[in-house]
């Protein structure tokens, strides 16, 4: 049976979010999806605490605030000294409750010695209490995120603005699958995304309706990492 950590819960919020829709990435004028992508929330979980020993897995997200957008003109540099005005549509005043867990990274058998679930779970909780180990963003760097540890009770009993509603967002970008060996292609996944009672339960990649192969992806050789024992010592455990 595959190992799975206990579930973790956090609140993430900010003044703006930009979960850029794929069709608007070709030009400078970006437009946001109405709700987070699984890949976007995965990036936040990795900023909270990540090691190559394990993989964070986003289970679901609860959308707390109403979905509102705001379009801003962004000055962009063009050519030599020129400038243009691009319009970017952001989500405004967002708050999400996220449930996730981690599993062991089967591609890193060299890190089997570091598979200490209790210590990694303890580090994850301490990292959540501190708001994450690295800076967190809501889709893009200009959208600063604030992370707060919550428990299961808060997650279950916090009411979404979309309680008792069933909303379909159609086909959305889901996530990337990064190759484990050099020369293999990067893959992108898309799925039909539905929100019930304000909650989106994300599918597994193998259950997504669409998969695209992208260009070959270069892989940096792995470096030495700190063990879970060393990581835990960095936190004040008084």
Residue 122 has pLDDT above 50, yes or no: yes
From CA 16, how far away is CA 195, in angstroms rounded?
21
Model pLDDT for residues 9-21, shown as the tens digit of each residue: 999 999 999 999 9
From CA 126, how far away is CA 120, in angstroms rounded?
10
What's the pTM? 0.89
Model pLDDT for residues 51-101, shown as the tens digit of each residue: 999 999 999 999 999 999 999 987 776 667 667 778 899 999 999 999 999
Give the closest residue to 154 by CA, choosing from 6, 7, 10.
Answer: 10
**CATH number of the domain located at residue range(s) 8-159 in this protein:** 3.30.70.2660
From CA 187, how far away is CA 127, in angstroms rounded?
30
| Backbone torsions φ then ψ of 67, nearest 5 degrees | -80, 115
Cα 96 versus chain centre, distance: 12
């Amino acid at each position: 049976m595959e190992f799975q950590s206990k579930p973790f819960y956090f609140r993430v919020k900010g003044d703006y979010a930009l979960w850029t829709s794929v069709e608007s990435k070709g030009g400078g004028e970006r437009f946001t999806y109405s709700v987070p992508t699984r890949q976007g929330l995965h990036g936040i979980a990795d900023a909270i605490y990540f090691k190559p020993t394990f993989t964070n897995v986003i289970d679901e997200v609860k959308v707390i605030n109403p979905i509102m957008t705001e379009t801003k003109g962004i000055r962009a540099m063009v050519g030599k000294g020129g400038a243009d005005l691009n319009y970017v549509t952001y989500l405004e005043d967002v708050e999400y409750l996220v449930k996730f867990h981690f599993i062991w990274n089967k591609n890193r058998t060299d890190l089997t010695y570091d598979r200490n679930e209790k210590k990694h779970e303890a580090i994850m909780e301490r990292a959540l209490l501190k708001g994450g180990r690295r800076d967190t963003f809501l889709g893009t760097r200009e959208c600063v995120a604030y992370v707060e540890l919550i428990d299961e009770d808060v997650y279950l009993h916090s009411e979404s603005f979309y309680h008792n509603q069933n909303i379909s967002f159609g086909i959305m970008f889901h996530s990337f699958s990064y190759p484990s060996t050099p020369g293999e292609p990067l893959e992108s996944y898309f799925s039909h995304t539905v929100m019930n009672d304000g909650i989106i339960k994300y599918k597994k990649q193998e259950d997504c309706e669409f998969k695209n192969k992208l260009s070959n992806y270069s892989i940096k050789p792995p470096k030495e990492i700190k063990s879970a024992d060393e990581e835990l010592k960095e936190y004040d455990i008084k």
